[in-house]
Amino acid sequence: MNAPDTFSHLQPDVSLRPVPPALLAALQARFGVQYSAAPAVREQHGRDEGSLQAPPPAAVVFAHSTQDVQDAVQLASQYAVPVIPYGAGSSLEGHLLAVQGGISLDVSRMNQVLRMDAEDLTVTVQPGITRKALNDAIKDTGLFFPIDPGADASIGGMTATRASGTNAVRYGTMRENVLALEVVTASGAVIRTGTRAKKSSAGYDLTRLLVGSEGTLGVITEVTVRLYPLPEAVSAAICSFPSIEAAVRTTIQTIQLGVPIARCELLDANSVRMVNVHSKLNLREEPLLLMEFHGSPASVKEQAETVQEMVSEFGGTAFEWASTPEERTRLWTARHNAYFAAVQSRPGCQVITTDACVPISRLADCLLDSVTEADASGIPYFLVGHVGDGNFHFGYLLDPTLPQERVAAEQLNHQLVARALALGGTCTGEHGVGIHKMGFLLDEAGEGAVAMMRAIKQALDPQNILNPGKIFAA
């Protein structure tokens, strides 16, 4: 690991590039009311849900169409000015910060379903539609889109960060579920990648290259994703455990046995307490697994029985909790709001969130040592995890007036990532690199692989205008 005892990434390097007034005038002329340089609008577009900060962009353009995106990028390209695509603003690693200045390109108003192909289990949408709005729009088709990061993120943003969530253990991540894209490149060209066919060997996999590229290789203007039939039967269980270890060992065994579990979420006692307060629930304040099974009635029953045996074996108590869809929704909403519940538990706090993901057999090793370290630090924290995938998040709740807390939390994060990498894992399972994890990416991938990423970036964006200063140093 580089620089184990300094934290140069505590705040980002800011190196503003000039934004010529002529560009702003041209954007204003072209976009009229879709253009804003108002301080409040710029401020809102200059930050994300993470704790890093930088000066806001010089202006914001609200795109309504691919043509708008193309025109904005072409103008920016003409002046070699950075363009930062903006969806729901829910990223966590500083992805949206204008660390080199430039303009924010807000695509949240491009929020339409363009084409529904229920019989092929695909839908094509504009990038600004959020995951909840998408599921709302298709709710009469008997299909659903399973990828669910905590926030109600935009589909474009989820594509750009290779997002996942609680259903990924069964349905995969954006990597597996994006079939095709329309993208505006750095030169302002519109290209299409992929098709609606389920598989293809037609040349380089540009779709997968763009998924997870964090706005640095192109601005996404259309996304075709896979949908799934709503399961015939759903059953869910809340299982309490005497220890985090018991919950984790139950998870590992469930996955190794090949149970096709749809959701397998860990909450530590801290998280349960925060969620109880925030969502007015009364879950037992012990380590919990929230599990959900999808399938035919027979298959769901079989899965639940198999898992119940394992829960008992590890000293857990399973409470059947399958009753109504409303109750299930209430619980999953509470789980998705865990981050906000935690923020509320220490008013005014800043949160540093970890995102390691390890091979399932190493999950206990990785997670339990990090719990010990977090307990010893004295910093308030919570722990939630998509543990079926080997992915988990500590959230350290920092008092921003106490810089030593931030240093200590970064130290905990550093130790945790070092441990995950040593166990064959990754520094980020689903949040992306942004600014915050640039050092970790170098540790994980090595100089050679990062050099390959940088060469691709330079080839596709020679002026370095697309969300510059993210993922790796230019």
* Of 121, 97, 102, nearest in space to 45 by CA: 97
Closest CB to its own copies among 269 and 471?
471
Dist. CA 236–CA 263, nearest whole Å: 9
Q: How far apart are CA 394 and CA 384, in angstroms?
A: 7
Burial class (CB in 10 A: 0-12, 13-18, 19+), 233: middle
**Distance of closest approach, residue 418 Cβ to its own copies, in angstroms:** 14
* Minimum separation from the CB atom of position 113 to its own copies (A): 17
Task: Kindly state the helix (H) or strand (E) to which residue 210 belongs, with its residue range.
Answer: helix 206-210
| Amino acid identity, position 250 | T
Closer residue to its own copies (CB): 374 or 445: 445
Is the CB of 168 or the CB of 291 nearer to its own copies?
Answer: 168
Helix (H/G/I), strand (E/B), else coil: 194:
coil
Q: Is 172 buried (19+), middle (13-18) or exposed (0-12) by CB count in 10 A?
A: middle
Question: For residue 50, which of 292, 312, 278, 355 has the smallest C-alpha distance?
Answer: 355
Produce one character per residue of 378-402: b if its CB has 16 or more CB atoms within 10 Å, e if not. Answer: ebbbbbbbbbbbbbbbbbbbbeeee
Residue placing its CB nearer to its own copies in the complex, 21 or 204:
204
State in angstroms the smallest separation of the CB of 162 from its own copies: 4
H helices present in 315-402, as ranges: 325-336, 338-345, 363-377
Minimal distance, residue 273 CB to its own copies, in Å:
28
Q: Report the C-alpha gap between 218 and 124 in whole angstroms.
A: 18
CB of 300 to its own copies, least distance (A): 10
Q: Whole-number minimum distance, CB 281 to its own copies, in Å? A: 28
In the complex, what is the shortest distance from the CB of residue 24 to its own copies, in angstroms, rounded to a whole number?
Answer: 29
Distance CA 174, CA 52 (A): 25
Closest to its own copies by CB, 44 or 299: 299
Is the CB of 321 or the CB of 472 nearer to its own copies? 472
Please tell me what DSSP assigns to residue 359. -
376 vs 459 by CB, closer to its own copies:
459
Least CB distance to its own copies at residue 463 (A): 14
Output 344 or 361, the one with its CB closest to its own copies: 361
Nearer to its own copies, 286 or 444 (CB): 444
| Helix orientation angle between 363-377 and 244-256, rounded to the nearest 10 degrees | 160
Return the sign of the alpha-carbon dihedral for residues 420, 422, 424, 427: positive
**Shortest spacing between CB 91 and its own copies, in angstroms:** 11
